[in-house]
C-alpha cells in the first residue's frame, strides 16, 4: 500500500527506527491506538498497559507462542496525545543484532495488531495529528541528513517552528489586508473606508519585501544544505589535482606530470568554518584530439557553469596565449554570480617568476599558493568563506533551503506584486482581494495549510522507514 493511499491513521504501525546494520542497540518504534497492547503481547516484565507515560522499563521480548526469550531490552512507553505522532507509542531498545531486530518485527506483525510502517509514516502521522506542520516535517529529514554545523542549525530552526512562524506572520498580515478589503466590499453602498489605500499599500509593501528577502536567500540556503560547489579549473599540469588533495586532506585525485591525466570530474568535500564545500577537480582545458579527454573537458565546462566559486590555477609557465584562451573560456561559460579566484600556483619553485597578464573582464581575486607544500591554502580557504558566507547570513528563520518552498515563495511574490499594482492603479477591492487570497494560498502550501495528497505522498516517500 503506497503512502498516498493511506487515508486514516487507524492502523498501528511498527518499524526499526535506527540505521540499518549491526550496532550496540537498535530502537523499534510502535505507534497507534494498539501500540501498548501490541508490545505487551511479546513482553515479559511490568505490564506496559499499566505503565505511566514517559517511563522506561527493563524486561524481556519473548516469542509469545513458546515463551522463549528473544532479547533483554528496555521498553519506553508514551501516552497520547503528548507524543511525536500524537498517538500511543512504545519504543523498544534492543541489542543491535540484525536477527533480533527482524525477529521482533516479525513477532509484532504476526500478532495481527500492527503492520510495518511505510517510509515517513511516523512523521506523516505527526503532521496529520497537528503535532507539526509540513515545513517542520520536512525539517525532520533535513536534521537527519545534516552533515555540518550550519546545515544542522538551519534544520533545527525549521524543526522548532521558527521558519513556520515567519510564514504564518506573513499570512496573518495578508489576512488583515484581505479582511479590510472585503469589509469595504460589504459596505460599498455606504461608501465606508475601513483603511486608507496608503495603509493597505504599507501592509502589502512590507509583506512583499519580506517575501523577496526570503526568496533571495535560496541560493545560499541550498548551498549550506547541499554544500557549496567550487570548480578547480585551468590548463593541464597546473596542479589542480594536487590542490584538491591538499584541501580535502586525502589523495583523492591521481597526480602526474603527464598532461591529460584527469579525464573526468573528481569531487570531494571538506568543512571550512562550519560550512561544507564541494571541490570538483576538472580535466585540464586545452585543444585535444583524444575523444575521452574531450568528453572530460566538456564536463569541466559544465562544472564551471554551475559552480558558486571557480578557482583558476595558473603558473609562471603559463604562456600569454594559454592565459588568453582560458580567460575567453571562463568569460563565455562562467555564471555572472559565480565568484572567481585566480591562484598563482607552484610558488615554491617559481618564487621570482611572474605569471602572464590576465586579460579578463570579470572581477577576480588573486592569491599565490603552493598546492604541493600547502603555502597559501589557509588564505584560500578564508577567501572562499569570505566570498560565499562571511558570517553575514540572515537569521535561520529567514533562510530558504527547500526547492518546494522557494517555488511557493516565488509564486507568492508574483501575487503580492499584483496586489501592489492593483492598489497603485486604484482597482476595485474585489480584484485586489483575489490576488491577496492567491498569495495566502501559496504561503499555505509551505506549511501544509493548503496541500494535496500527491504533494504529501512525494514528501514523505523520501523519508526512511521508521521516521
Residue 143 pLDDT > 70? yes
Tell me the C-alpha distance between 288 and 356, whole Å: 23
**Given 1.10.10.10, 1.20.120.430, 1.10.645.10, 3.40.50.2300, which CATH number is that of 140-217+399-448?**
1.20.120.430
Q: Could you give the angle at the alpha carbon of 354 between the alpha carbons of 353 and 355, nearest 5°?
A: 125
- Which among 223, 344, 335, 234 is positioned nearest to 282, based on CA atoms? 234
pLDDT higher at 317 or 310: 310
Average of per-residue pLDDT across 6-23 = 81
Tell me the C-alpha distance between 209 and 173, whole Å: 13
pLDDT higher at 299 or 64: 64
CA torsion, ordered 427, 431, 434, 435, to nearest 10 deg: -40
The 10s digit of each residue's pLDDT in 348-365 is: 886 655 677 788 888 899
Tell me the C-alpha distance between 86 and 132, whole Å: 10
The 10s digit of each residue's pLDDT in 145-168 is: 888 888 888 899 999 999 999 999
Q: What's the whole-model pTM score?
A: 0.77
In the DSSP assignment, the letter for residue 3 is G
- CATH number for the region 3-130 comes to 3.30.1360.120
Residue 255 pLDDT > 50? no
pLDDT grade for 260, boundaries at 50, 70 and 90? very low
Sort strands 12-16 and 114-116 into parallel, antiparallel or unpaired.
Answer: parallel
- Segments of the chain assigned to CATH 3.30.1360.120: 3-130
- Segments of the chain assigned to CATH 3.40.50.300: 229-388
Q: What pLDDT does 295 receive?
A: 64
| Topology annotation, domain 229-388 | Rossmann fold (3.40.50)
Non-local (6+) Cβ contacts of 382 within 8 A are none
Q: What pLDDT does 285 receive?
A: 62
Element (H, E) at 326: helix 320-333
pLDDT grade for 253, boundaries at 50, 70 and 90? very low
Tell me the C-alpha distance between 321 and 147, whole Å: 43
Q: Does residue 252 contact residue 270 with C-beta atoms inside 8 Å? A: no
- Segments of the chain assigned to CATH 1.20.120.430: 140-217+399-448
Q: What pLDDT does 298 receive?
A: 72
Q: Could you give the angle at the alpha carbon of 275 between the alpha carbons of 232 and 233, nearest 5°?
A: 5
pLDDT higher at 250 or 260: 250
Average of per-residue pLDDT across 375-389 = 91
Tell me the C-alpha distance between 209 and 441, whole Å: 18
Task: Tell me the DSSP string of 58-89.
Answer: EEEEE-TTT--EEEEEEEEEE-TTSSSSSS-E
Tell me the C-alpha distance between 329 and 310, whole Å: 12
What's the grid cell of residue 166? 515567519
Q: Does residue 140 contact residue 159 with C-beta atoms inside 8 Å? A: yes
The 10s digit of each residue's pLDDT in 426-457 is: 887 788 889 999 999 999 999 988 777 777 78
In the DSSP assignment, the letter for residue 117 is P
Amino acid at each position: 500500500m503506497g503512502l498516498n493511499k493511506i487515508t486514516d491513521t487507524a492502523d498501528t504501525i511498527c518499524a526499526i527506527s535506527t540505521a540499518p546494520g549491526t550496532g550496540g542497540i537498535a530502537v523499534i518504534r510502535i505507534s497507534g491506538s494498539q501500540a501498548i497492547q501490541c508490545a505487551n503481547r511479546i513482553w515479559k516484565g511490568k505490564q506496559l498497559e499499566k505503565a505511566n507515560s514517559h517511563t522506561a522499563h527493563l524486561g524481556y521480548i519473548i516469542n509469545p507462542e513458546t515463551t522463549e526469550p528473544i532479547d533483554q531490552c528496555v521498553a519506553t512507553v508514551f501516552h497520547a496525545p503528548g507524543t511525536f505522532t500524537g498517538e500511543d507509542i512504545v519504543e523498544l531498545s534492543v541489542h543491535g543484532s540484525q536477527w533480533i531486530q527482524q525477529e521482533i518485527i516479525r513477532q509484532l506483525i504476526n500478532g495481527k495488531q500492527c503492520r510495518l510502517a511505510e517510509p515517513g509514516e511516523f512523521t506523516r502521522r505527526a503532521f496529520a495529528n497537528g503535532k507539526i506542520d509540513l515545513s517542520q516535517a520536512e525539517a525532520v529529514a533535513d536534521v537527519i541528513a545534516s552533515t555540518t554545523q550550519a546545515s544542522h542549525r538551519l534544520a533545527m530552526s525549521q524543526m522548532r517552528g521558527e521558519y513556520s512562524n515567519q510564514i504564518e506572520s506573513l499570512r496573518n498580515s495578508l489576512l488583515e489586508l484581505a479582511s479590510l478589503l472585503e469589509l469595504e466590499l460589504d459596505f460599498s453602498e455606504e461608501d465606508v473606508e475601513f483603511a486608507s489605500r496608503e495603509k493597505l499599500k504599507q501592509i502589502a509593501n512590507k509583506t512583499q519585501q519580506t517575501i523577496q528577502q526570503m526568496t533571495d536567500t535560496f541560493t545560499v540556503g541550498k548551498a549550506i544544505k547541499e554544500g557549496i560547489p567550487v570548480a578547480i579549473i585551468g590548463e593541464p599540469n597546473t596542479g589542480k589535482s594536487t590542490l584538491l588533495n591538499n584541501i580535502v586532506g586525502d589523495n583523492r585525485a591521481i597526480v602526474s606530470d603527464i598532461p591529460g591525466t584527469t579525464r573526468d570530474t573528481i569531487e570531494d568535500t571538506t568543512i571550512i568554518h562550519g560550512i561544507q564545500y564541494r571541490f570538483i577537480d576538472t580535466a585540464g582545458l586545452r585543444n585535444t584530439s583524444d575523444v575521452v579527454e574531450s568528453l572530460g573537458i566538456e564536463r569541466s565546462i559544465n562544472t564551471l557553469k554551475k559552480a558558486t566559486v571557480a578557482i583558476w590555477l595558473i603558473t609562471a609557465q603559463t604562456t600569454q596565449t594559454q592565459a588568453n584562451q582560458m580567460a575567453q573560456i571562463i568569460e563565455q561559460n562562467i555564471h555572472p554570480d559565480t565568484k572567481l579566484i585566480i591562484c598563482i600556483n607552484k610558488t615554491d619553485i617559481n618564487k621570482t617568476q611572474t605569471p602572464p597578464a590576465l586579460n579578463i573582464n570579470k572581477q577576480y581575486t588573486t592569491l599565490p599558493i603552493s598546492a604541493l607544500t600547502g603555502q597559501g591554502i589557509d588564505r584560500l580557504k578564508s577567501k572562499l568563506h569570505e566570498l560565499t558566507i562571511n558570517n553575514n547570513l540572515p537569521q535561520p528563520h529567514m533562510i530558504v533551503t527547500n526547492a518546494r518552498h522557494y517555488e511557493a515563495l516565488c509564486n507568492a511574490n508574483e501575487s503580492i506584486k499584483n496586489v501592489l499594482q492593483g492598489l497603485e492603479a486604484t482597482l476595485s477591492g474585489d480584484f485586489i482581494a483575489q490576488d491577496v487570497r492567491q498569495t495566502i494560498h501559496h504561503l499555505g502550501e509551505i506549511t501544509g495549510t493548503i496541500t494535496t495528497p500527491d504533494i504529501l505522498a512525494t514528501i514523505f516517500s523520501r523519508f526512511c522507514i521508521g521516521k
